[in-house]
Structure 1
Amino acid sequence: MEILDQIKRPTKNEQKVAIDSYTALSNVLPQLSKECTEIEIEETHAKIKIPLKALKLLNDVLKAMSEGKPISILPIATEVTTQKAAEILGCSRPHIIKLIEAGEIPFTKVGKHRRILFEDVLKYKEQMKEQQRQHIIDIMNFDEELGLYDT
């Protein structure tokens, strides 16, 4: 999928601009109460109306860019290939195939190709993180029971 292939870290200059813009927008957002607000493009003096939700999303994008994080905005319903899902999850494509065939991740078939909703890949990734957190807590509790971990 072309969109995911184009994700790159912001340049140092983009980071600097994002820091300044994030700070300014963060200070203004709490003062906005309407569902839609009008902003002016300084260079052209064009005025555009932007939904408040979009401004909040822009604020999140600027924050991520200011921290040097690569960002991408995709519609939730975007479908990815099994290869792209494997890259997102940091595993092999055959492992993804096993997961979807075991019913762990929902998918659809387009011809003979499997497609997975991007949202489902992220949901699975979050489930795995939660399971890892729980395993760490379980190990710490077991170590404590054995007297190996001193609180």
Structure 2
Amino acid sequence: MEVEMTLLSPHATEAVVDASELSALKSAAARVNDSVIPPRILVGEEVITLPSEVVDAVQDLLTRFANGDSVVIGSARTLLTTSQVADLLGVSRSFVVHLIDDGQLDYEFRGTHRRVSLTETVRYLEESKRERRAKLDAIAEVTAETGGYDGDPF
């Protein structure tokens, strides 16, 4: 089964959602969050009350769009090609292959091709961000301890 995905760059929402729409999204996200009545949708003639899990997901989605974040929606079980993983991570396909070969990304074979789950891709991305942040914090701490910021006008 081939999965079609459209991946947006980090600033793609600027092209998709203009400033007035961003304002409306921020307002909608706040209203969903503040409402004591569960949100409902109208499908044809039928009114459907949304479960709290769906409300939370929609509110999170609205907030992310309102903040200008790019969003990828897919099933956690979705399997991605190495090229799709590279697009999501913002790296080259050959770097993704290197991550797979090093055991940093779990994968499975589909025929002769390696596939990585969307869940695994997001796990790696979040872990990388945490590690990068910890390393930058450590560098900043050492710099502060050694007086590297003394007299710095910034």
Q: Which TM class, normalised by the smaller chain length?
A: 0.7 to 0.9
Contact 1:38 1:47 in 2 (8 A): no
64-73 vs 125-134, which moves further: 64-73
- CA distance in 1 between counterparts of 2:86 and 2:109 reads 17
Offset of 1:45 from its aligned partner? 5.1
Q: What SS does the aligned partner of 1:2 have?
A: coil
**Within 5 A, what are the aligned runs for 1:106-117?**
106-117=106-117
Superimposed CA distance per residue, residues 17-72 of structure 1 (whole angstroms, 9 cap, x where no aligned partner) = 423422321220xx25xxxx57253x955311321110111111122223333333
Q: Is the 8 A contact 1:82 1:116 kept in 2?
A: yes
Q: Which residue of 1 aligns with 2:40?
A: 39
When residues 20 and 150 of structure 1 are mapped into structure 2, their CA distance, relative to the original with a 3 A threshold, is: same
User: Residues 17 and 112 from structure 1, CA distance in 2 versus in 1: closer, same or farther, beyond 3 angstroms?
Assistant: same
User: What does residue 70 of structure 2 align with?
Assistant: 70
Residue equivalent to 1:2: 4
Q: Which runs of 4+ in 1 moved over 4 A?
A: none
Q: What is the Cα-based RMSD across aligned positions, in Å?
A: 2.7
Change beyond 3 A, Cα 1:25–1:133: same
1:2-151 → structure 2 map (5 Å cutoff): 2-5=4-7, 9=13, 10-12=16-18, 14-28=21-35, 31=36, 37=38, 39=40, 41=42, 46-150=46-150
Secondary structure in structure 2 of the residue aligned to 1:132: helix
Q: Aligned residue pairs: how many?
A: 144
For the Cα contact (< 8 Å) 1:39–1:50, is it kept in 2? yes
For 2:133, give the aligned amino acid.
Answer: R
Q: Is the 8 A contact 1:85 1:116 kept in 2?
A: yes
How far does residue 124 in structure 1 lie from its aligned partner after superposition?
A: 1.0
CA distance in 2 between partners of 1:55 and 1:121 (Å): 25
Which amino acid in structure 1 is aligned with residue 95 of structure 2? H
Quickly say closer, same or farther: Cα 1:6–1:88, change in 2 above 3 A. closer
Task: For structure 2, list consecutive stretches of 5 or more residues without a partner in the other structure.
Answer: none
Against the structure 1 CA distance between its residues 117 and 74, is the aligned structure 2 distance closer, same or farther, given a 3 Å change threshold? same
Q: CA 1:123/1:61 → structure 2, altered by over 3 Å: closer, same or farther?
A: same
TM-score (norm 1): 0.78
**Percent of pairs identical after alignment?**
22
